[in-house]
Amino acid sequence: MQRRRRRTTLALGLLAAAAVLTACTGSHHEDRDEQRQTDPDLPVRTRAVAATDALLAAYDTVIAGPGAGRAGELRPLRAELLRHRAAFAEGLPSAAPTGAGGTGSPGAPGTAAGTPGGTTTPAEPAAAVTTVAELGAAERRTAQARLADLPAASPDLARLLAAVSASDALHAAALGDTTPVTAPAPVPTAEASPAGTAGASTSPAAGPTGSTAPAGATGTATGTGTAAPAASAAPLPDGTATALQSALAAEHAAVYGYGVVGARLPDDQQRTDARAAFATHEARRDTWRRLLAGAGATPGAAAAGYQLPFAVADAAGAARLAAHIEARLTDVYGELVAALPADRRVAAADALRGTALQARRWGSAVTAFPGLPEPAATGSPSGSAVPTPTG
């Protein structure tokens, strides 16, 4: 009898333990589901962190190996990646920080550190990137892959993705990769396979309106990547028309500014670059005009004249003005990425990347988040963002 009573007691104890475990597991799943419901950006942030971890691992491999002689050049870029990771990981429950001060290791290569829900996101193994040239290609591929998540992200996160994608493209150019950045097909759902890995194989895909062009990743003044939107009679959402009008006004001013730049430059490669940039800004201006007109809005007209932010008397001043115009336009396009409907964000992100690359070419200081305001921005002259209308 005692033996049977003992068996019964043990059985009841196991059942009770199982019930508690089931309740805990159910609660865990409920908490995770609730978190996904309250933070729709969770899958996008997770992919972005995984992609950045893969790049960090690649940097560690190159710095410790054949790139040791260029460590002084590579470490500042890696430090910017740490800032990218921190921005993407904000709010993620398990995103363990990478090494403090930019010297730590991102964890085991090939897995994403701190992905929510106990899952991991495949990332490019550090061993796959062993040279500086391969590192530049990995940065460029990551810049492309981040654009795939633009339609799935909230407006603020989309702006962050576009800024970091532009920074990745700047890193690629600094490391010698001049292959144009082209946007891959967007991630179809929040649960789709990861898009933001450094080793993701991406192919050029149609942009928000069916076509894209190289986005200026060659480090020259050619190409914007801005797709020409198809005409549409549907009205634009609240705030979108205002942001588009601001972008159009900025491009009107940029076209005027580059007329001044070209007139002050000698007939050499710089003037050729200025002419190409002038054509780029004309093309963007026409793109935003078509989009506004297609939605039934009246595009703003160019002013009769513009006041330059500072005097331009020689070639050095002209280059300074070009750098200033491009650097300030990145802020305009950061705002536009957040304001546009999800299916049109890639065009604004392409423009943001193009202006960031041009700003670097003309000598502007490079920031970790092009298109996002920096509290202590340096390297740009004081004054208005672009030439301002007079009268």
Structure tokens at 202: 């991406």
More confident residue, 166 or 182: 166
pLDDT category at 191 given cuts 50, 70, 90 is very low
For residue 335, the model assigns a pLDDT of 96
The percent of residues above 70 in pLDDT, for the chain, comes to: 65
List pLDDT tens digits, range 89-135: 987 876 655 543 443 333 333 333 333 333 333 444 444 899 999 99
Flag the least confident range among 95-104, 132-141, 163-172: 95-104
Give the residue-averaged pLDDT of 129-144.
95
Output 13 or 253, whichever has higher pLDDT.
253
**Residue 391 pLDDT greater than 60, yes or no:** no
**Rounded Cα distance, 323 and 364, in Å:** 5
Closest CA to 181 of 214, 210, 134, 135: 214
* Residue 20, pLDDT above cutoff 60: no
Q: In which band, very low, low, confident or very high, does the pLDDT at 186 lie, cut at 50, 70 and 90?
A: low
Residue that has been written with the tokens 């470490």 in this structure: 75
Q: Per the structure block, which two tokens stand in for 335?
A: 């705002």
Cβ burial of 267 (10 Å; 0-12, 13-18, 19+) is: exposed
Q: Which two tokens stand for residue 248?
A: 């159009």
Most confident of 12-21, 116-125, 282-291: 282-291
Mean pLDDT of the chain: 76
Instruction: Grade residue 387 by pLDDT with cuts at 50, 70 and 90.
Output: confident
Write down the residue that tokens 């363990």 correspond to: 96
Q: Where are the domains of the chain?
A: 39-205, 211-391
**pLDDT per position as a tens digit, 229-273:** 444 457 777 689 999 999 999 999 999 999 999 999 998 899 999
pLDDT per residue as tens digits for the range 28-70: 445 555 554 578 899 999 999 999 999 999 999 999 998 899 9
Residue 202: pLDDT above 50?
no
Residue 210: its pLDDT value, please?
31
Q: Is the pLDDT of residue 22 over 70?
A: no
Pairing between β-strand 388-389 and β-strand 306-307 as defined by DSSP bridges: antiparallel
376, pLDDT greater than 70: no
Q: Assess contact for 351 and 226: CB atoms under 8 A.
A: yes
Q: End-to-end CA distance of the chain, in Å?
A: 104
pLDDT at 173 over 80: yes
Fold of 211-391: Ferritin (1.20.1260)
Residue 155 clears pLDDT 70, i.e. is over it: yes
Confidence of residue 349 (pLDDT cuts 50, 70, 90): very high
Residue 344 CB coordination number (10 Å): 24
Backbone dihedral angles phi then psi of residue 138, each to the nearest 5 degrees: -65, -40
Block residue for tokens 């092009």: 370
Question: Angle 252-161-255 (CA atoms, 0-180°, nearest 5)?
Answer: 10
Q: φ and ψ at 194, to 5 degrees?
A: -60, 140
The answer to whether residues 168 and 51 touch, using CB atoms and an 8 Å cutoff, is no
Among the ranges given (145-154, 178-187, 311-320, 351-360), the one the predictor scored with the smallest mean pLDDT? 178-187
pLDDT digits (tens, 9 = 90+) for 64-92: 998 899 999 999 999 999 999 999 998 78
What percent of the chain lies above the pLDDT cut of 90? Answer: 58
Token couple for 312: 């331009």
User: Are the C-beta atoms of residues 183 and 148 closer than 8 Å to each other?
Assistant: yes
Q: Which amino acid is at 192?
A: A
**What is the pLDDT, as a whole number, of residue 294?**
92
Query: Is the pLDDT at 288 greater than 80, yes or no?
Result: yes
Cβ(111)–Cβ(123) below 8 Å: yes
